[in-house]
Amino acid sequence: MVALLALLGFAQTPAAPAGSAALGRELFSGAVKFAAGGPACAECHQAAGAPFPNGGTLGPNLSASYRRMGQQGMDMALRTLYFPAMAPIYRVHQLTPEERADLLVYLGSTAGRPARNPTPKIVAIAILGCIALFLLTAFLWRDRSRGVRAPMVRRAIAARRRMGAGGGR
């Protein structure tokens, strides 16, 4: 009966909420928390345009998944979250329809863009950190041996003098 009424235009079918790509990006990265408290997508997944470092590597790149599955496929994936690693977590932390819509719009906006490789930035940060640590250590420890070395040198000089004054062996 409902189907017949829907075909005739009498029954209202709930419209999908309009999503926001900006809010979807914030939800994906974890800057905005999910209403039910689930983990952010970026903890396991990457997406083009995601903030540095683009997310985790446990799950697939969701930009590529959206490109492959399309809007309907990704909507069903977000609705069910039936994947083995995700099902136990999201069974008690369901996404709201608004969160799904925001994520869909965001992932749709990233589908045509390539994901950035964060490795060069991570390597640069590591090298700069090592240099900073080396310089800090060199500056703070530049006088570290003076307090120990000076008494040892004085004792060695005094011992030599005593040996020299005694005529040797």
CATH class of the region 15-110: mainly alpha
DSSP state of 14: P
Residue entry with tokens 């006088």: 143
pLDDT digits (tens, 9 = 90+) for 105-138: 999 888 766 656 666 777 788 899 999 998 888 8
Q: What Å distances lie between residue 85 and 15, 58, 59, CA to CA?
A: 30, 9, 9
Q: What Å distances lie between residue 134 and 3, 103, 123, 139, CA to CA?
A: 72, 43, 17, 9
Between 8 and 147, the more confident residue is 147
pLDDT at 100 over 90: yes
pTM to 2 decimal places = 0.58
Q: Where are the domains of the chain?
A: 15-110, 119-165
Spatial CA neighbour of 57 closest among 47, 49, 68, 66? 47
